[in-house]
Amino acid sequence: MKRLTEKGFTMTELAIATTITLLFALSLYAVFYGLHNQLKKQNVYYETGRSARHSLDRISKDVKEAVQIVSSWGGNSTSDTSLVLKLPSINSNGEATDVSSQFDYVTYKLDSADTTHLVRSLDILGGTSAREGGADQTNQIVGRNVQTILFSSNGTGLSSFSSSALQGLKSINVAVTTQRQTVGTTQTTQLDSDLMLRNQLI
């Protein structure tokens, strides 16, 4: 009478099966790793773009409300990379209190403590202005991952203008470049906009 023998995998078959499984696992890892890196790149691209847009939007709001660009205020100066704006003081209803003599001042510049941060400072007319809660604000971050910012008019940086020439400007150009590195690549966003002072003093 013949004995039944149990059939199993040979060492060669096991080696082949193991190799196939390993190759399949490596393929899956490569796919998921690639997707993960792509997602990181997209997130960084979104962040740099959002930061550039937010910076321009915030500056645009103040420029449109400003009555003048001034050469300096409160230790800050207007230059190619910084901007000092003169805005009318407002009451709690958002109305100008006295456009001929009562003013608030807004400054934009790169933070000296971290030059990738664009910061905004507000100096209000104490006891009169109700702008933004009626309190001064210092170095509020309005943009991150900022590589460069340039303030100019008709292709000329604002540092080239005299004090009286700055006060007479009706419009400026603001160019913002944001940048961040991820997964061995650098994501860069460049935006610029021409902005007009709608409340300019005559």
Q: Is the pTM here over 0.85, yes or no?
A: no
How many degrees, rounded to 5, is the angle at CA 155 between CA 149 and CA 159? 60
Query: In a structure prediction context, what are the per-residue pLDDT tens digits for the chain, which is 202 residues long?
Result: 555 555 666 877 777 878 888 887 777 776 766 666 666 666 656 677 888 999 999 999 999 999 999 999 999 999 999 999 999 999 999 999 998 899 999 999 999 999 999 999 999 998 899 999 999 999 999 999 999 999 999 999 999 999 999 999 999 999 999 988 876 778 889 999 999 999 876 5
CB atoms within 10 A of CB 46: 12
Query: How far is Cα 176 from Cα 195, in angstroms, rounded to an integer?
Result: 13
CB 48, CB 69: distance < 8 Å:
no
Tell me which DSSP letter residue 131 carries. Answer: G
